[in-house]
C-alpha cells in the first residue's frame, strides 16, 4: 500500500534524476569547446556518438517520468547508467569522476522502491 510520504519521496527522487538526465542529454547536443571536456569525451570514447546518446537519454527519461511506463523506464535507465558506470571504471577513471553515476543509481533505486512497489514484489517472487 502506498503512503503519501512514500509517493512524495518517490516523485522527488524521480524529479532529481530526470532533471539531471535531461540536463546531461541537452549537453550532448552542445558543441564541446573546452579542451578538458574534449579530452574527457575522447578518453571515454563517446565523442563521435554524442547526439545518439543524447537522443537515447531523452527517450529513456521520458519513459521513466511517465507513470504508466515508469517500470520499463527504470529498468532501461538502470541499464544505461550501469553501462556508463562500467565504461568509466574500465577506462581507468577515478571514483570522483564517476561518483555522480553511483549517486544517480542509488537515488533511482530509492525512487523506484517508493514509486513502483511491484518491482520489489517481483524480485521476492510474490504475487501483486
Q: How many Å apart are CA 105 and CA 87, to the nearest integer? A: 15
Nearest to 75 by CA among 85, 59, 62, 64: 64
Q: Residue 117: exposed, middle, or buried by beta-carbon count in 10 A (0-12, 13-18, 19+)?
A: middle
pLDDT score recorded for residue 128: 65
Q: Which three cell numbers stand for residue 7?
A: 509517493
Q: Match 534524476 to its residue by C-alpha cell.
A: 17
Burial of 98 (0-12, 13-18, 19+ CB in 10 A): middle
The tens digit of pLDDT for each residue in 65-108 reads: 998 999 899 999 999 999 999 988 998 888 988 899 999 999 99
Amino acid at each position: 500500500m502506498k503512503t503519501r510520504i512514500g509517493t512524495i519521496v518517490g516523485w522527488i527522487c524521480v524529479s532529481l534524476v530526470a532533471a539531471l538526465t535531461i540536463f546531461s542529454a541537452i549537453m550532448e547536443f552542445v558543441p564541446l569547446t573546452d579542451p578538458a571536456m574534449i579530452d574527457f569525451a575522447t578518453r571515454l570514447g563517446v565523442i563521435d556518438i554524442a547526439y545518439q546518446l543524447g537522443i537515447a537519454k531523452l527517450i529513456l527519461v521520458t519513459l521513466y517520468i511517465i507513470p504508466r511506463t515508469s517500470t520499463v523506464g527504470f529498468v532501461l535507465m538502470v541499464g544505461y547508467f550501469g553501462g556508463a558506470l562500467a565504461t568509466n571504471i574500465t577506462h581507468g577513471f577515478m571514483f570522483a569522476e564517476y561518483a555522480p553515476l553511483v549517486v544517480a543509481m542509488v537515488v533511482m533505486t530509492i525512487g523506484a522502491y517508493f514509486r513502483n512497489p511491484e518491482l520489489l514484489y517481483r524480485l521476492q517472487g510474490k504475487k501483486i
